[in-house]
Structure 1
Amino acid sequence: MSQSRNRAAVLGSPIAHSLSPVLHRAAYGELGLDDWSYDRFEVDEEALPGFLGGLGSEWAGLSLTMPLKRAVIPLVDEVTETAASVEAVNTVVFTDDGRRVGDNTDIPGMVAALRERGIEQVESAAILGAGATASSALAALARICTGEVVAYVRSAERAAEMRQWGERLDVEVRTADWADAEQALTAPLVIATTPSGTTDALAAAVPERPLTLFDVLYDPWPTALAARWSGYGGAVVSGLDLLVHQAVLQVEQMTGVPTAPLGAMRTAGERALAAR
């Protein structure tokens, strides 16, 4: 990465809640990148083309959150295979020759967060929900799950979408009704991708010896499901784990450093959440 490129930011709408500046700035501080800056900008889909068009040569990269992960695809020069697999870009890296490369660090971030807890492979898994994060979860499971994934969803339309994603990602997906979501909790790996409060009613159904829960939420934390899960001795991977691991990959891509400081970034994120 050229030394003249030292600006990065996160874009989205709403964006005020984003922890990305905390994580990336912590990395810069730890790495001694004193001339680097990382900001946040409120940008919606309509404003995105103009924002990108106004960026100068000092820009190294962007993090993207909702609702921009799909809207940015036509605006970049290249999309990696990982990002194309789920039609979602959460990272744009500006190369020295002026190209914009769109990538997705959520998928390898999920895999890395699980690997950190010793989970390299599972025989089966369950996904709660069917939104954009669920498709990323399926893409992550394509790398580590050797058998069936059961997705618990609320509508026939969402069920069809999840089966289509399964075919596209070469994952064996079976769909089940949300009313039966308690059955998910006995799976070797449960990935909860639903909005805050959605899984609270499932907490009472956590089995006595649960295995691994990956709950993508991080604020407020813990969720009722995660609290009951860890109370019974089950392994819990949090949304903060995901956020930190995907940010590690972004820092490495944008700055060119071989290894971003995972520990310092996680500590900064935990402190910021505790202060909320």
Structure 2
Amino acid sequence: MSDGRTATEHAGRRRAAVLGSPIAHSLSPVLHRAAYAELGLTGWSYDRFETDEAALPGFLAGLGPEWAGLSLTMPLKRAVIPLLDGISDTAAAVEAVNTVVLTEDGRRTGDNTDIPGMVAALRERGVESVESAAVLGAGATASSALAALARICTGEVVAYVRSAARAAEMRQWGERLGVEVRTEDWDDAARALHAPLVIATTPAGTTDALAARLPERPATLFDVLYEPWPTELAARWSAYGGAVVSGLDLLVHQAVLQVERMTGRGPAPLAAMRRAGELALASR
């Protein structure tokens, strides 16, 4: 793939970075630098910057023509939208941008690689389509999960949430994304474990109590966490013979798409990026 840049431009100094707050834990620099090394992009660098919503406009205003792209994490995925020249349909669907592509003429375009990254991570594990699914949680990642399920789920999605307000939000997202969403109280979350696909979008420790309630033959779990890993639920799920997709799988697949969009080169080296991420996590 190519974005029209010449070989000379690709060989020159180009910059990218991940922004967010907190950001010190981010694996994005490890993944992107591994990709640059494999692709031979010796003039490319990728850094991290602690940036909150108040600092974001100034940061963007200070970027020079050497900047090719930005990865965004919380709390910037929505805050960046008014600062961009345009966003993709995927990003608009969930009102969240995790990728900004910067052109040398100063144009800023937002995209969301989390959603296709989820779909790609599931496809890698053989999950192309499911008749129904369950989502644990109702935050920003849960809305991305619904958007991914809109592409692969042919039937109902049941979301397990802790409040009536969260339930209403998930139903609204379902209507917007074209997904049939039914909500249930978190106290009944063990029912989710029988679904053909379970996507856990909750913070560390939240699903630990569910691990003891697994059915004998669980299907597929997509747990978006990658640290600590494995979660108790993921470890028990795997021990019972179920398929498990991890947060690192998601992180790598969405980063693959970011690298391709920012550099104009592809395919990005999925295996090398995953190895780099695994080594970085193992050393923590």
TM-score higher than 0.5:
yes
- Which residue among 60, 67, 70 is the counterpart of 2:68? 60
- Residue 258 of structure 1: CA displacement? 2.3
Between the aligned residues of both structures, percent identity stands at 83
The list of structure 1 runs, each at least 4 consecutive aligned residues, that deviate by more than 4 angstroms after superposition, is none
- Which residue among 97, 112, 117 is the counterpart of 1:104? 112
Partner of 1:152: 160
Q: Residue 137 in 1 paired to residue 142 in 2?
A: no
**Amino acid of the structure 2 residue aligned with 1:70:** R
Q: Residue 71 in 1 paired to residue 64 in 2?
A: no
Partner of 1:193: 201
**Amino acid of the structure 1 residue aligned with 2:143:** S
Partner of 1:172: 180
Aligned length: 276
- Residue 180 of structure 1: CA displacement? 0.0
Q: Residue 27 in 1 paired to residue 35 in 2?
A: yes
- Residue 201 of structure 1: CA displacement? 0.4
Q: Residue 122 in 1 paired to residue 133 in 2?
A: no
**Amino acid of the structure 1 residue aligned with 2:62:** G
- Residue 95 of structure 1: CA displacement? 2.2
Gaps of 5+ in 2: none
Residue 151 of structure 1 aligns to a residue in which SS? strand
Q: Residue 11 in 1 paired to residue 6 in 2?
A: no
Q: Residue 92 in 1 paired to residue 100 in 2?
A: yes
**Amino acid of the structure 2 residue aligned with 1:160:** A
**Amino acid of the structure 2 residue aligned with 1:228:** R
Partner of 1:182: 190
- Report the RMSD for the aligned CA atoms in angstroms: 0.8
Q: Residue 210 in 1 paired to residue 218 in 2?
A: yes
Gaps of 5+ in 1: none
Alignment TM-score, normalising by the size of structure 1: 0.99
Alignment TM-score, normalising by the size of structure 2: 0.96
Partner of 1:40: 48
Partner of 1:271: 279
Q: Is the 8 A contact 1:9 1:62 kept in 2?
A: yes
Q: Is the 8 A contact 1:215 1:237 kept in 2?
A: yes
Residue by residue over 1:172-215, the C-alpha shift from the partner in whole angstroms, topping out at 9 and shown as x without a partner, is 00000000000000000000000000000000011110000000
- Which residue among 233, 243, 264 is the counterpart of 1:256? 264
Q: Equivalents in 2 of 1:246, 1:262: separation in Å? A: 10
